[in-house]
Amino acid sequence: MNYNHPRRQKTAGLIRYSCGILFMIFCFCYLFFLQGEVLAEAQFVFSKGATTYNIFVGAIITTLILQIVQWVVGTLSRLPSTVYALSYIPSILLLAFLVNINEERIAQFSLGAWVWIIPVVLVVYILLAIAIHALKGGSMDSDFDLKSQIYPNFILLFLQMLVIGFVPQSSDVYHYELKAERLILAGDYEAVSRVGERSLRASARLTQLRMYALSQQGLLAERLFEYPQYDGARGLLDISDTLSVYRFSTQSICRYLGAQCGKNVKSTDRFYQLLLGEYQKGDTVVILANEHTIDYYLCSLLLEKKLKEWRRELPHYYNLSDSIPHAYDALPKSYREALLLIGNPQEAFNGKIVIGSDTLATLTDREMIAQFRDYQALKAELKDPVERVNKTHREFGKTYWWYYDSSHLATGELEKRK
């Protein structure tokens, strides 16, 4: 056979270039869109914060390295053009190893089963290449027709790419956490609030990052219940969560609220207590905490469903004097929704907050009051508990009313975490 036949060289070249282009497009898209956040976190942890990972640049560099590995393997193995795509097996193997990263592996670095998988696959590949040369030699390239050779290569390459999809990887919630963390470090708080916004899945860590981003925008108490709240007050702040691998840690939130959390502070409630200290200045009581801490504290009471304590604490931090017109109407959405729950329910249908014989205030938000009436009517109409939880969630799942009444009863899709 004439191995220098022009048509044969052209066919082999087209196969090499087309497979290379497909492989690089696949690698870049996979590394950039699906695995970039995890790789950035892994590099930060493994370098102990000494280096950072640029998702775009990292995807390009990694793709080029994997392509170079393939070029070296292809040159050494000299596989026939019909099965040239098999020369991508080592690169696919390295890619699989690279993306098989999860939260546990990052926290406690371990090669796991890859200690034996990589050597075994490489040995099998070498034996396969030798067998192909021994059995077929150059006869596999006797047909110069491009179609008859390129389709087998595309199928082989596709099957190898498919293997990547079966490699165990991180959950979608973990990806949301890492993306939110990166956006916070970039100062893009509005984008953080859009991360995973259509998913009912969440973790305490993801919720903390979302709530921090809302607080930075001054929207914590306004939009608190627009997101799944599975962890109560722990979804706002959990000072026991001191895992050092986070690029944005719990201590970062503590500093934002006003103070580094010391080792002697054993609970989040104690942390709030210390931050919310006060002192007497003449006849005036001065609150030491900043406005962000105040909303964190009041929202934590709502999340723990401590309505009586919340109502008692609210006037300490918000000026609700009768001398201020519509003071109650100016409160954030979550607070106004909570107010409708604490008083006489019949009076609440008219917007009046009545406790005992005292009328605290009258809300003028007619849309919210009408929504509250509709919620109570729907809840009373549905007798089956499961049906009631699910149907009320569809229409009122982003209100404090649904959270207060039904969050602890939610099952199935509504209780998913990860």
Domain boundaries, the chain: 6-169, 171-317, 322-418
Q: Which residues contact 104 (CB under 8 A, 6 or more apart)?
A: none
- Write phi, then psi, for 358 (nearest 5 degrees): -100, 135
Q: Which long-range contacts (CB under 8 A, 24 or more apart) does 402-411 make?
A: 402/225, 402/375, 403/225, 403/229, 403/303, 404/305, 404/307, 404/338, 404/341, 405/379, 407/229, 407/230, 409/385, 411/386
- Per the CB < 8 A criterion, the answer to whether 63 and 27 are in contact is yes
Which of 176, 163, 210 lies closest to 190, judged by CA?
210
Residue 354 forms beta bridges with which residues? 359
pLDDT of residue 374: 95
Place of tokens 């080029």: 64
pLDDT of residue 270: 87
Residue 279 forms beta bridges with which residues? 286
DSSP annotation of 238: -
DSSP annotation of 384: S
CA of 18: how far to CAs of 13, 21, 154, in Å? 8, 5, 9
pLDDT of residue 280: 37
Q: Do the strands 278-281 and 352-355 form a parallel or antiparallel pair, or are they unpaired?
A: unpaired
pLDDT of residue 341: 92
- The residue ranges of the chain whose pLDDT is under 50 are 1-3, 138, 279-286
Alpha-helix residue ranges (DSSP H) falling in 281-365: 291-303, 307-317, 333-342, 345-348
**Distance (Å, whole) CA 96 – CA 380:** 54
With helix as H, strand as E and coil as C, how does 105-169 read? HHHCCCCCCHHHHHHHHHHHHHHHHHHHHHHCCCHHHCCCCHHHHHHHHHHHHHHHHHHHHCCCC
Coil, helix or strand at residue 261: coil
Chain segment 328-341, per-residue pLDDT in tens: 999 999 999 999 99
Place of tokens 């964190």: 296
Query: For residue 119, what are its two tokens?
Result: 């050597």
**Single-letter code of the amino acid located at 363:** L
- Write phi, then psi, for 8 (nearest 5 degrees): -65, -45
- Cα separation of the two ends of the chain: 59
Per-residue buried b or exposed e for 186-214, using 16+ beta carbons within 10 Å of the residue's own CB? eeebeebbebbeeebbbbbbbbbbbbbbb
pLDDT of residue 23: 97
Q: Name the pTM for this structure.
A: 0.84
pLDDT of residue 288: 60
**Distance (Å, whole) CA 358 – CA 395:** 32
In angstroms, how far apart are the furthest CA atoms of the chain?
A: 104
Which of 35, 39, 28, 101 lies closest to 66, judged by CA?
28
pLDDT of residue 8: 61
pLDDT of residue 216: 96
CA of 190: how far to CAs of 193, 206, 217, 399, in Å? 5, 15, 8, 21
pLDDT of residue 47: 79
Alpha-helix residue ranges (DSSP H) falling in 1-145: 6-29, 36-46, 55-77, 89-99, 103-107, 114-135
Which of 250, 237, 210 lies closest to 226, judged by CA?
210
pLDDT of residue 1: 39
CA of 336: how far to CAs of 97, 136, 280, in Å? 52, 78, 30
